[in-house]
Amino acid sequence: MNDSPDHPAQETADTEAVIAAALAELEVDHHRREPGQFLVTLPGTARLQTHCWLVVRDHAVFVQAFVCRRPDENHEGVYRFLLQRNARLYGVHYTIDRIGDIHLTGRMALHAVTAGEVDRVLGQVLEAADGDFNTLLELGFATSIRREHAWRSERGESTANLKAFEHLFG
């Protein structure tokens, strides 16, 4: 076996080592699954946690994070927001899967993976997933949010976690 950096197996192993070191340095919660698979848990504010996969393959590192389930309503408004937001994202972009759930996905060439790049991409995942979460809920789930608020109010239950959506209850 050729151990030069030009050999895919060596480059893959080197990239895995860079990612493992970067995650340890960042002190971010993560679990190493099968070889080349890292499940990173990013803490947030609006979205309490975002789980992000970093998967090393022969030519690239794939990045994937679930953001939100398929919107109940206003699909056009949600998708317009996602497409416009894509123009301002670094290293990842919004996608939808076959059932309409919303994800952030990206790809880094193996030779481009550094600790700094891992930090930047994970930072962008966190900023987008956490920062856009309430907007996505408001755009795609306003009726459900209003219904939940009314149900809790009628029963005298706490509506504290709906505070961000108070403007919908007018």
DSSP string covering 108-124: EEGGG--HHHHHHHHHH
Which tens digits make up the pLDDT trace of 41-79? Answer: 999 999 999 999 999 999 999 999 999 999 999 999 999
Architecture of domain 8-168: 2-Layer Sandwich (3.30)
Which tens digits make up the pLDDT trace of 83-108? Answer: 999 999 999 999 999 999 999 999 99
The domain ranges of the chain are 8-168
> Tokens 């990206």 belong to which residue?
106
CA separation for the pair 73, 78 (Å, rounded): 9
How many other CB atoms are found less than 10 A from the CB of residue 157?
10
User: Is residue 115 within 8 Å of residue 21, measured between CB atoms?
Assistant: yes
The three-state secondary structure class of 97 is coil
Report the phi/psi class of residue 4: left, alpha or beta, with left for phi > 0 and alpha for psi in -120 to 50: beta
Tell me which amino acid residue 61 is. Answer: V
